[in-house]
């Protein structure tokens, strides 16, 4: 989830962004998850070790993202670089990396990739919208926004958990849950991709408001 705000609004509201050096770990987890997905695609499809590794990096990305925010507030420091890096790291760790895992386990048709691209772009839109509206959202006494508009992008960890369950059950590649429509044609599509597209719609919703903890 993005914590970007302008320097002026941070000072006025008491909300601290992240320092520029604090975002390395979440972004690192997302990049390493992506590389692990690629390694599986290049190796033995019956060896799922790299898939498990790709999935394991994602909750660590959330842990470090949460920790970075805590450290930044504790040090009472913020920077524009850190605020920008926060959004980019979130997009990689909770948007691109999960989409890569989905592609890895079997969502590989042309229409599948369009659906996954929609999911990633919704995450990008969600972060960009937060960045430009955070200064006008209602604040509590500490200067922190009272709610999220649309589901935060780290909620994609729900999809990661679901994919982990599929991998555990062996529902990968030809055994992807819910099967495929128009198999072996240009219109081949796995209905399970609709879960990613639905999540993308929830992230960009303007009517869903989730109170911040």
Instruction: Classify burial at 76, counting beta carbons within 10 Å of its beta carbon; exposed 0-12, middle 13-18, buried 19 or more.
Output: exposed
Q: How confident is the model over 37-92, as pLDDT tens digits?
A: 999 999 999 999 999 999 999 999 888 777 766 655 656 666 666 667 788 889 99
What span, in angstroms and rounded, lies between the C-alpha atoms of 145 and 95?
23
Instruction: Select from 93, 143, 95 the least CA-distant residue to 122.
Output: 95
- At residue 21 the predicted structure's pLDDT band, cuts being 50, 70 and 90, is very low
What is the overall mean pLDDT for the chain?
A: 82
Over residues 94-117, the pLDDT tens digits come to: 999 999 999 999 999 999 999 999
Predicted confidence band at 182 (pLDDT cuts at 50, 70, 90)? very high
Handedness of CA 37, 38, 39, 41 (dihedral sign): positive
In a domain, 9, yes or no: no
176 domain residue, yes or no: yes
* Residue 128, domain extent: 24-135+148-204
Q: In 3D, which of 194, 182, 156 has the Cα closest to residue 65?
A: 156
Q: Has residue 17 been placed in a domain?
A: no
Q: Identify the weakest region by mean pLDDT among 20-29, 36-45, 114-123, 190-199.
A: 20-29
> First and final CA of the chain: distance in angstroms?
13
* Position 8 pLDDT exceeds 50: no
Q: What is the CATH number of the domain that holds 187?
A: 1.20.120
Does some domain include residue 76? Answer: yes
C-beta separation of 155 from 199 below 8 A: yes
The confidence score (pLDDT) of residue 20 equals: 46
Residue 55 lies in a domain: yes
Q: Is residue 143 part of a domain?
A: no
What is the largest distance, in Å, between two alpha-carbon atoms of the chain? 58
Q: Is residue 162 part of a domain?
A: yes
The pLDDT of residue 61 is 85
> How many structural domains is the chain composed of?
1
143 has pLDDT over 60: no
Question: Tokens standing for 122?
Answer: 């919704």
Write the CA distances from 55 to 7, 76, 139, 181, 188, integer angstroms: 35, 33, 35, 26, 26
Query: pTM value?
Result: 0.81
- CA–CA gap between residue 193 and residue 35 (Å, rounded): 21
């Amino acid at each position: 989830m993005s914590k970007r705000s302008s320097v002026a609004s941070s000072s006025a509201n008491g909300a601290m962004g992240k320092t520029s050096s604090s975002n390395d770990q979440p972004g690192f987890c997302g990049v390493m998850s992506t590389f692990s997905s690629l390694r599986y695609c290049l190796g033995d499809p019956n060896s799922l070790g790299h898939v498990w590794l790709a999935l394991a990096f994602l909750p660590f990305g959330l842990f470090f993202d949460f920790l970075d925010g805590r450290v930044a507030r504790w040090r009472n420091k913020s920077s524009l670089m850190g605020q920008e890096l926060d959004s980019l790291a979130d997009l990689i760790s909770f948007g691109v990396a999960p989409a890569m895992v989905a592609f890895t386990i079997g969502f590989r048709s042309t229409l599948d990739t369009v659906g996954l691209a929609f999911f990633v772009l919704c995450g990008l839109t969600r972060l960009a919208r937060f960045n430009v509206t955070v200064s006008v959202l209602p604040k509590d006494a500490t200067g922190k926004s009272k709610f999220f508009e649309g589901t935060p992008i780290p909620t994609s960890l729900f999809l990661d958990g679901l994919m982990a369950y599929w991998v555990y059950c062996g529902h990968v590649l030809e055994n992807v849950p819910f099967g495929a429509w128009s198999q072996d044609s240009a219109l081949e599509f796995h209905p399970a991709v609709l879960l990613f597209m639905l999540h993308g719609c929830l992230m960009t919703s303007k009517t869903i408001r989730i109170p911040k903890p």
